[in-house]
Structure 1
Amino acid sequence: MSEDAVAPYPVHWEADVVLRDGVPMHIRPIRPADADALQRMHLRQSPMSVYYRFFAPMERLSERDLHRFTHVDHDDRVALVLTSGEEILAVGRYDRIDDGTEAEVAFYVADSEHGRGLGSVLLEHLAAAGRERGILRFTAEVLPANSRMIGVFRDAGYEVTQVLDDGVLLVSFDIEETGRSWSVMAEREQRAESHSMRALLSASSVLVVGLGGPEHVLAERAAASLLAGGFTGPAHLVAVDPGDGLGDGAGDAPGPRPARYERLADVTGPVDLAVLAGREEEVLAAVDACGRLGAHAVVVLSGGFAETGPAGERLQRELLRRTRAYGMRLVGPASFGLVAAGEGGRLDVTLRPGLPDGRVGIFCQSAAAGSILAATAQRRGLGVHSLLSAGNRADVSGNDTMQFWLDDPGTAVAAVHLESIGNPRKFSRIARRLSATRPVIAVVSGQTGQVVPPGHAVRTTREPQRVLAQLLDQAGVLRARGVPELLDLAQLFATQPLPAGGRVGVLANSGPLTSLVGGAARAHGLDVVDVHPALAPLAGAGEYAAALEEVARRSDWDALVVVHVPPLGAADDAIARVLAAAAARDGRPVLAYLDGPVGVTAGLSAPGPDGTARTVPTFASVQDAVAALAGAVRYARWTTSERGELVDPPGIAPGRARALLAPTVRDLGPGQTARLAPEQSAELLACYGLTVLPAERVADVEEAVAAAERLGWPVALKTSDEVLRHRADLGGVRLDLTGPDELREAMRAMRTHLEPIAGPGAAFDVQVMAPAGVACVVRGVEDALFGPVVSFGLGGDAVELLGDVAFRVPPLTDVDVADMVRSVRAAPRLFGHRGLPVLDVAALEDVLGRVSVLTDDLPEVARLVLNPVLVARSGASVLSAVVEVSRPGRADGGRRVLPGSGSAGAKMEPWPSPT
């Protein structure tokens, strides 16, 4: 493409990113109109920075240089810029060398922005663009004194080679994603997003603004919560009367008197966090004022945005654009607010004050969910360390909040209530890291993640409901069926240690109650231990104390469920006290049903040996108590289970695979797919070490015989019909044909039998015979919501009708792959069921692992089906492969992207064809 040609603009390369210091910034391809901004950036640079970039003094960029730098074809010549408002703060570019798979890369970062990680972000996004365009390797010429740029390359996670030549350091590295580069990206992403959220959840000064209209009352309620919560930092209230005696400096407020203003323009600051409620237009105008005050984040309590329809969606996009233009994070719109342990004390700007302080972190989306969670936690006395309601989730999401919890020592339990999931793959990646350090409990609306509430811009999925469930299991996340079960688990984790195993003891004041608890425990797969005979119905504190002392001396139980139902209906506080004291002395979890208050109560608290208070949690029923305990046992086992190593099979060539797919993909329009020819599919699979058993398509008997002679006898004959070719019972397959006569007879019989079903003129395939074994099906798809999804099941109608299929979202570990194979109900057929031979499961796992890597590497592969994969005593043979490709549009690639922008957006359109 010539420099003067009109370049197609790859809109999906646009994105918002969080820098090292937690501040959002916009990244996009360069445009011809950027010439003036590029010149302004250059003129602000020091002579040293100019010399490092151009190897010579250059006071101004010439018109020729400006034209060359800003007119690119987004294929052989790519340039990305990081912008703040109208100003360019950094440029990264590559130029393909000799129309091949190598490109020279260069960066130019404004002197004022050094140390914020702009170069690292540009490298991630340039590498992703390069991989998409068939680039395999980056090279760069760097002056040895330019240590910053050398560090960008060295620290990116790639295998970098350096050669000093005539005073210039020649740097080169393959840009294919590796486990290390992914790990580096994820670590940087976590640090940046956690830092960004810390500015929000540790705000030291707060501004609450009422902007009129019916929504004004939301700001007043948030102000009342702020003052009642004991916030001690500067508080600014604009046109807000909190009421309840907390208005004009009443002495009842635990914190300092807030500054009061009638107009937002009168506020002088400082302001870390702004809370807004009012009409949509006033909210948009107020965001600009908050940005000028230096606010790091904005919480919008009022709605009227995307949940109202297309006009509201446009307003919400403008709201997000304005907040990010000022480097602010946005919570909402339509948020319930947030609670956090800010630098100025307890920060509460929710619509329901009075949440007790504690160790549980809660994330939810809608204000309704926030209200329910806050009210239920209050009734239970469950202490909350932080609560954030994302509302329409225009910006801040559950993923952001979990990134913060990873670094927050005050959050011991993570509870998330999700009405939709914008990026499940990233959620799984973060949740897996978080689950390794503390329990993560999730409620997902409909248990599918496919319910899209008004105002939530999310991608949709075609995958079954089980994909989300297995994704959560894979990440160690405990699934709760609703708010009560979510808080049941949270209160148990917040108050008791993890059980060492699944042995459960029961102490109750009734034999039937003991049996009831035992039955519930066995239903959850727990082992019931007879630790003590049932007490008398009228047993008092003395009897319970003696029994608990006796039980404590036993070592054959891991958790104890105590049940007391007073037959006369009067609760005995003395029983609660002895139970609390006994539980505090023991290092094992104890939980109770006492036919009284549910939750965390002072009456069931006592100091342990180290002086730390421990509380026995109570539940609404014995079934709820046992269900919570079963969840704790599952989580405890997950924390000690082997995670394995990421699958990294030898002999793969992802660069060659991308080059193979590029011509086909480039010719596709948005939403189009193309099926590869069998020889192309075989070549693609060969790039990942997978071999399709040789076969030839034939039209008549003589072609079939000739093909069999070339392939070698014996052979199999299959109809080309995609359904019947897998159905020997319907006459679509004939096996072990040893000579021409058998083949001719088989083809004649198959034509006669299949014509009424498949119609006349059907083609046939002649294929080399594989060793006898069990047929399996391995699939990989690129889903709009989940990204790559791999599935496994055994072949056959019964398995398909019963839905006996395992799903996982790559990247997978070797343990994930092994669990997939063993998790299907028909798996015993592979392991010697009823005297059958044990098959080569290791070979099957190798096939499955390679498919997982292929689907993870190649978002261009829309659908891959290996059916069947025949597993024999030795080896696994791929008999048939179907591959469909499309334009890539993955939400979670190897680059940092904030939600709601570029390729992370729900309505991203693929880039137009260069032709």
Structure 2
Amino acid sequence: MLARRARRRYAAAGPWDDDGMPTEPGTTYPVGWEADVVLRDGSVAHVRPITPDDAEALREFHRRQSPESIYLRFFAPLRELSDRDVHRFTHVDHRDRVALIATVRDDIVGVGRFDRIDEHQAEVAFNISDHFQGRGIGSVLLEHLAMIGQEVGVDRFTAEVLPQNRKMINVFREAGYDVTHRYEDGVIALSFDIAPTERSVLVRLAREHRAESMSVRQVLSPRSVAVVGASRRPDAIGHRFLRNILVSEYTGTLVAVHPEADEILGVTAYPTLEAVPHEVDLAVVVVPAEKVLDVVDDCARKGVRALLVASAGFAEAGPEGVERQEALRRRARASGMRVVGPNSFGLINTHPDVLLNATLANQVPRRGRLGLFAQSGALGIAVLASASRRGLGVSTFASAGNRVDVSGNDLMQYWIDDDDTDVVGLYLESMGNPRKFSRIARQLSRAKPVVVVSSGVSAYGAPPGHRTRPTQVPPEAFDAMLRQAGVIRTENVHQLFDVAQLLLHQPLPAGRRVAVVGNSDALGALSAQAALSWGLEVTHGPVSLPAEAAPEAYTAALRAAFDDPAVDSVVTGFIPPLATVDSTVVDAVHQASAGSEKPCVATFLGLRGVGTGAVSSYAAAAAAKAAGEDAVRRAVPVYGMPEDAVRALAAATNHAQWRGRDRGRLVHPPGLHDEDVEAVVERVLAQAPDGRDLTREEATELLAAYGVRLWPARHAATADEAVAAADALGYPVVVKTLSPVLRHQTGTTGVRIDLDGPEAVRGAVESLRLRLGTLGTLGTEGIVVQQMALPGVICVLTSQEDPLFGPVVSFSLAGPPTELLGDIAHRIPPLTDVDVSDLLSGVRAAPLLEGHRGAAPVNRGALADLVARLSCLADRHPELARVHLNPVNAWSGGVDVLDAEITVRPAATRKDGERRAMT
């Protein structure tokens, strides 16, 4: 029985040609199935469909396998693959028979395939290289095959596994699917539906997180570093990198690569990487751009795990550089290497076990608990210099340069697990995958504050060399995404560090109530006014002591503020009566704050920073430094002006409230029929492959599949047709023009309401004809007749599939708030019930929903349900390029969707899909 099963697995039942070889229909290679993936150990593999050209590589893969692995896969000791076997495995139709291979350095290290059993079921099998088992290749291949299976109409996978093949059994069981199994004839038969489940999604994301975190950890904590392009000239970049690594007292093994030198700066030099007698974890590449690709090939042969490419001359330099940068990405990933750069300023890790300064910065911040990320080299210099001036300590720093591979998303994955990092600061000049950023940032923000300064999120705003997609959504959507993820956005680097120094050294505020204490009426007034403008509540003070008050009086006033139960935070300010600040006042602030769990911010005019950095010019500096790390952690952050202090405090307060909120549950309203939506979409795309706008009938059918009723409406070209339509719909009715210029304008230019009989309808049609004819806008669009809705608040709901962000859901109130004031709220699906509530409350006109001037409040639950349905529709069906519900009448009894415009287009590939893949 086992032999027969092995034969059935190994040679399918036709169709066969005259030579006994399986024949294949004409197929198109599915490029979209290719992907680079990070494995469990942090290395990189390439996943792609198998091709006939892989025949010899497949034979070699099979020869390298142990007898045990071959038997576990094929249930037979097949040491060699026959020509018929190889043809069968390498010739697939990408529908009924699908095969993927995982490669590293062009060698096949894993094979996964499925063969369709019937229309909705397929048998799946895997074969992983003995040398690569335990790295998660089987799990990756299963994820990708499941996604492909859904794409080609397969709903369920089956597999037959020998009982002793525990590793493969665990691949299925641990994937998060509901696996059923039975033991029959010495074989375990497994089966499971491949549609994503909540658990399978969580498993996939957890695996992605662990792999990417491990990958970055290896980049930041190399055991050995080689500077390729090290120079003996002191002014050369290669010399500066080598010197800074050396001076930082790097704890690992450091070597230089130079074609002629035996040593540079006392560091042993080798003519080539291959001549280095030990393994190299990180290669710092500082050769001219035209030589970088040759170095990448050398690194691949050496087995280097990661590259830091400081060289410029890539995508920022024009078309030739773009091509060179893409080649760098392809070659590095094909060889299993991560890349920081090109055009990178470098990496820093201040941990005592590493002590790596692989940057161009001669001086770096002291060791601390701030993780920093910047993209461009110039801003990397500015970020590090600003941290040093303020006395802020850094745990790790990375400059991504052109971001060909390692990005801010990767660093955030690492910082989630890094016990040495408490706060994260990001300077983003572009964003390649906002959906993934939002997902990771939300997880990170729950444990560690994330502070972002961003100069652009689109191809227009991105610096040359950054790979990104254009975006069609307004900047407000990006702001909403950050707020949704709990990220603190600042306007510049100055504000980033204003916030970071508070978050690093003070507890989070418990509420919005603040006390203001100082020795100046003017300073107190400025502080209080700033607090009010940022949404804080002044509940204590302002207390203004005399300018000449003794430190004891200052201490007493501060302690009274900290002890006040109506106070959550303290804002203090001091203007020295002489040219310098009395160090005893500084000490008084620190001591009062140290004894409280309430945060404190201070304004000492002309100073900025924390701990020793804030008082470095005073006699108290030595004492503060001697107090050790614990004292520095609770040091009071000092600001040059009260507005800066209060802005930072407001940001910390908002973050604390976000963190303390109920995060809600993902919305999933009942009655969502995706198959009915897909039927409409497929029918439309079959008629119009490039997509088109739906007719009202099609829109009605599509929305009904998601439990949304689009109110009936009838077109009319004449008064008689309008009356007939009104009679059929029932009075009272509305008659409105279909002119695109006027259909959604406020006022009565293009609409006549509350028509209660045939004569009223005829009069309305004639009135519109005369009015619109006079304006020259009647055209040939005609009019539409619809039943009159009850009075309510007219809303607008939209979902848009953006090339960069994916689906974006927007909400506003119709009329001037939307059209003139841009009062529109945005959220990025998937949404929780809390997100939905925030979306509805996110417009300035939201009070109208709660009742205004005696009006009844709208049915907020019904409106929230409609938003939830639209968000799920947009999230699950990327072919819906735009869904525009306008007008939506929200009233006390429910919501009425009166009109809808829906556009269907072929779905673009989303950046954060249902499989693990590097972008």
TM-score where L is the length of structure 1: 0.90
Q: Quote the residue 1:467 is aligned against.
A: 477
Structure 1 distance, partners of 2:130, 2:359, is: 41
Q: Quote the residue 1:909 is aligned against.
A: none
Amino acid at match of 2:601: L
Q: Which moved more, 1:647-656 or 1:370-379?
A: 647-656
Structure 1 residue 694 and structure 2 residue 712: aligned?
A: yes
Do the aligned residues in 2 keep the contact of 1:45 with 1:110 (CA within 8 Å)? yes
Structure 1 residue 301: Cα displacement? 1.1
Structure 1 residue 311: Cα displacement? 0.6
Q: Which moved more, 1:517-526 or 1:559-568?
A: 559-568
Amino acid at match of 1:811: P
Q: Quote the residue 1:179 is aligned against.
A: 198
Structure 1 residue 802: Cα displacement? 0.8
Q: 1:34 aligns with which of 49, 54, 57?
A: 54
Q: Quote the residue 2:901 is aligned against.
A: 882
Structure 1 distance, partners of 2:248, 2:659, is: 36
Structure 1 residue 485: Cα displacement? 0.6
Structure 1 residue 479: Cα displacement? 0.7
Do the aligned residues in 2 keep the contact of 1:496 with 1:616 (CA within 8 Å)? yes
Structure 1 residue 611: Cα displacement? 7.2
1:620-699, aligned counterparts within 5 Å? 620-665=640-685, 672-699=690-717
Relative contact order higher in (CA < 8 Å, ≥ 6 apart): 1
Q: Quote the residue 1:281 is aligned against.
A: 290
Distance 1:118 1:270, change over 3 A: closer
Cα displacement string for residues 30-55 of structure 1 (whole angstroms, at most 9, x for unaligned residues): 22322222333234344554455445
Structure 1 residue 708: Cα displacement? 4.9
Amino acid at match of 2:399: S
**Which residues of structure 1 form unaligned runs of 5+?**
250-257, 900-915
Amino acid at match of 2:565: S
Q: Quote the residue 2:338 is aligned against.
A: 329
Structure 1 distance, partners of 2:699, 2:184, is: 43
Q: Which moved more, 1:119-128 or 1:133-142?
A: 133-142
Structure 1 residue 19 and structure 2 residue 39: aligned?
A: yes
Tell me the SS of whatever aligns to 1:869: strand
Structure 1 residue 887: Cα displacement? 2.3
Distance 1:95 1:493, change over 3 A: same
1:899-914, aligned counterparts within 5 Å? 899=919
Amino acid at match of 1:674: R
Structure 1 distance, partners of 2:847, 2:142, is: 48
Distance 1:213 1:819, change over 3 A: farther
Structure 2 distance, partners of 1:770, 1:171, is: 55
Structure 1 distance, partners of 2:760, 2:96, is: 56
Structure 1 residue 210: Cα displacement? 1.9
1:766-805, aligned counterparts within 5 Å? 766-805=785-824
Structure 2 distance, partners of 1:7, 1:187, is: 35
Q: Quote the residue 2:300 is aligned against.
A: 291
1:7-406, aligned counterparts within 5 Å? 7-54=27-74, 58-96=78-116, 98=118, 100-143=119-162, 145-162=164-181, 169-210=188-229, 217-239=236-258, 248-249=265-266, 258-261=267-270, 263-341=272-350, 344-354=353-363, 355-406=365-416
1:437-586, aligned counterparts within 5 Å? 437-446=447-456, 451-531=461-541, 533-586=543-596
Structure 1 residue 592: Cα displacement? 1.6
Structure 1 residue 759: Cα displacement? 4.1
Amino acid at match of 1:425: R
Tell me the SS of whatever aligns to 2:830: coil
Tell me the SS of whatever aligns to 1:898: coil
Distance 1:112 1:721, change over 3 A: farther
Structure 2 distance, partners of 1:232, 1:702, is: 90
Amino acid at match of 1:561: V
Structure 2 distance, partners of 1:459, 1:370, is: 24
Amino acid at match of 1:295: V
Cα displacement string for residues 357-380 of structure 1 (whole angstroms, at most 9, x for unaligned residues): 101000010000100011111111
Q: Which moved more, 1:510-519 or 1:813-822?
A: 510-519
Distance 1:884 1:552, change over 3 A: closer
Q: Quote the residue 2:6 is aligned against.
A: none
Structure 1 residue 808 and structure 2 residue 827: aligned?
A: yes
Structure 2 distance, partners of 1:665, 1:93, is: 30
Q: Quote the residue 1:913 is aligned against.
A: none
Tell me the SS of whatever aligns to 1:637: helix
1:852-867, aligned counterparts within 5 Å? 852-867=871-886
Amino acid at match of 2:814: G
- Identity %, equivalent residues: 47
Structure 2 distance, partners of 1:532, 1:461, is: 46
Do the aligned residues in 2 keep the contact of 1:665 with 1:860 (CA within 8 Å)? no
Distance 1:113 1:711, change over 3 A: farther
Distance 1:96 1:447, change over 3 A: closer
Structure 1 distance, partners of 2:655, 2:479, is: 15
**Which residues of structure 2 form unaligned runs of 5+?**
1-14, 16-21, 613-619
Do the aligned residues in 2 keep the contact of 1:213 with 1:278 (CA within 8 Å)? no
Amino acid at match of 1:813: T
Cα displacement string for residues 305-360 of structure 1 (whole angstroms, at most 9, x for unaligned residues): 11101111111112222222331110011111011145743111111133211010
Do the aligned residues in 1 keep the contact of 2:103 with 2:334 (CA within 8 Å)? no
Distance 1:863 1:137, change over 3 A: farther
Tell me the SS of whatever aligns to 2:589: helix
Please, what is the CA RMSD of the aligned residues?
3.0
Do the aligned residues in 2 keep the contact of 1:214 with 1:278 (CA within 8 Å)? no
How many equivalent residue pairs?
885
Do the aligned residues in 2 keep the contact of 1:503 with 1:528 (CA within 8 Å)? yes
Do the aligned residues in 2 keep the contact of 1:229 with 1:353 (CA within 8 Å)? no
Structure 1 distance, partners of 2:190, 2:786, is: 49
Distance 1:193 1:12, change over 3 A: same
Amino acid at match of 2:378: A
Do the aligned residues in 1 keep the contact of 2:116 with 2:123 (CA within 8 Å)? yes
Structure 1 residue 710: Cα displacement? 5.1
Distance 1:215 1:404, change over 3 A: farther
Distance 1:610 1:600, change over 3 A: closer
Structure 2 distance, partners of 1:493, 1:259, is: 43
Structure 2 distance, partners of 1:392, 1:413, is: 24
Amino acid at match of 1:890: R
Cα displacement string for residues 647-679 of structure 1 (whole angstroms, at most 9, x for unaligned residues): 11122233443344235446766xx43223333
Structure 1 distance, partners of 2:795, 2:629, is: 56
TM-score where L is the length of structure 2: 0.90
Amino acid at match of 1:337: G
Do the aligned residues in 2 keep the contact of 1:83 with 1:90 (CA within 8 Å)? yes
Distance 1:159 1:723, change over 3 A: farther
Structure 1 distance, partners of 2:492, 2:136, is: 41
Q: Which moved more, 1:482-491 or 1:231-240?
A: 231-240
Q: Quote the residue 1:618 is aligned against.
A: 638
